[in-house]
Chain A
Amino acid sequence: NAGVTQTPKFQVLKTGQSMTLQCAQDMNHEYMSWYRQDPGMGLRLIHYSVGAGITDQGEVPNGYNVSRSTTEDFPLRLLSAAPSQTSVYFCASSTDSWSYNEQFFGPGTRLTVL
């Protein structure tokens, strides 16, 4: 049981490039989410999904796209990278609404945009 996995662990992009951050979980969790973590700030929700085929925007969705074709996978796409997207990105999953249920986090992807 690997839990939540993320790839890559590190990535450097140039401004304007696009890329996809991968996230997978093997716990059969319905809820999945993407956060970014910046120094001195709390985690901020980018996008989330409450099940396969269902996604919604979080607090800071601009510049990012998501899709959820399977229960296991929830990739995050950066359409045209900007220096402001330099951050550490975390994927998380939970059995149900994270208002009450623990979220399980992946190890993160550290992204630098030059």
Chain B
Amino acid sequence: KNQVEQSPQSLIILEGKNCTLQCNYTVSPFSNLRWYKQDTGRGPVSLTIMTFSENTKSNGRYTATLDADTKQSSLHITASQLSDSASYICVVSLAMDSNYQLIWGAGTKLIIKP
């Protein structure tokens, strides 16, 4: 069964600290993996997308990694800010001739405390 599991479910860290969020997937055939940020009461916004051949991709203080062999991805946030408080969602796309084969994770809720 195609699944995306994220850990931890929730995380609280102090402002200025770093953190890493995990995404494990059992999706086949794999096409790409995208990380979204969802602020409370808002829709998700894309942070980065990674294809099979990409190991690391950065977007400002956000760095995503992908290990296609172990089917794991991580999102590392450096020098966290209060505005980083949000849910972070991992989404995996299947390499199928279909329009809607996206497998969504349940997200990690990140709270940054001053």
Taking a contact as CB atoms under 8 Å apart, the answer to whether A102 and B102 are in contact is: no
Q: B43 touching A92 by the CB < 8 A rule?
A: yes
Residues of A in contact, count (CB < 8 Å): 26
Find chain A residues with CB under 8 A from B42 CB: 105, 107-108
Q: Mark B1-32, 1 if CB is under 8 A from A, else 0.
A: 00010000000000000000000000000011
Size of interface on B: residues with Cβ below 8 Å to A: 26
Comparing B54-62, B64-72, B73-81, B93-101, the segment that makes contact with chain A is B93-101
- The answer on a CB contact under 8 Å between A99 and B93 is yes
What B residues does A53 contact at CB under 8 A? none
| B46 close to A102 (CB less than 8 A) | yes
CB closest chain-B residue, reference A31: B99
Q: How far is the CA of A48 from the CA of B103 in the complex (A)?
A: 15
Residue from A40, A44, A50, A90 within 8 A of B43 (CB atoms): A90
